[in-house]
């Protein structure tokens, strides 16, 4: 049974994240979606709200959704895996992702980060863009799952 952890802020989950999840499940038996709480970033949604939105959008998939805090390598140990999934979009993601992968490998040499290229449709899609659009009352239906669209509408009403 191959389990990998897909960590992130997911503030909120987008169709780009969902694309990565679906494709990662072609490689792994199970995916643990680890939602960062108490990170450096100021989030629009609480970690529980973010986790609940992911649960709503991934019903029936082989995933477990859980908030996590502290170091990712410690969380990996707790979940008894050394496999990390991250999505890669435009080239601009590379620097940040490379730094994180190297840092995690330094902390725990067993860690392997598997990068999944996001479908070109989602190449420039980010949670930040989605929030900006929703804040300005634009239609985000093509960018996020339905439950997230509703949550954004409610938050900015």
Rank residues 40 and 139 by Cβ distance to ligand PNS and give the closer one.
40
For ligand PNS, the binding residues (CB under 6 A) are 7-9, 36, 39, 71-72, 100, 103-104
Least gap, CB of 79 to ligand PNS (angstroms): 13
Rank residues 39 and 56 by Cβ distance to ligand PNS and give the closer one.
39
CB 127 within 8 A of CB 144: no
Instruction: State whether the Cα torsion 78-83-85-91 is positive or negative.
Output: positive
Least gap, CB of 157 to ligand PNS (angstroms): 26
Residue nearest to ligand PNS (CB): 8
**Which of 87, 85, 84, 86 minimizes the C-alpha distance to 125?**
87
Rank residues 90 and 137 by Cβ distance to ligand PNS and give the closer one.
90
Q: How would you classify the pairing of strands 63-68 and 30-36? A: parallel
Report which DSSP code applies to 138.
-
């Amino acid at each position: 049974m191959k389990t990998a952890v897909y960590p992130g802020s997911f503030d909120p989950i987008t169709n780009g994240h969902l694309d990565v999840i679906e494709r990662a499940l072609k490689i792994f038996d199970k995916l643990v979606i680890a939602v960062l709480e108490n990170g450096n970033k100021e989030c629009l949604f609480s970690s529980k709200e973010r986790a609940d939105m992911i649960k709503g959008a991934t019903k029936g998939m082989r995933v477990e959704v859980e908030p996590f805090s502290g170091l990712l390598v410690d969380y990996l140990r707790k979940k008894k895996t050394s496999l990390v999934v991250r999505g890669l979009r435009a080239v601009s993601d590379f620097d940040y992702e490379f730094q994180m992968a190297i840092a995690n490998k330094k902390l725990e040499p067993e860690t392997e980060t598997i990068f999944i290229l996001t479908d070109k449709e989602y190449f420039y899609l980010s949670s930040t863009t989605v929030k900006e659009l929703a804040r300005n009352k634009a239609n985000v239906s093509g960018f996020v799952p339905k439950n997230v669209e509703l949550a954004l509408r409610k938050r900015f009403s």
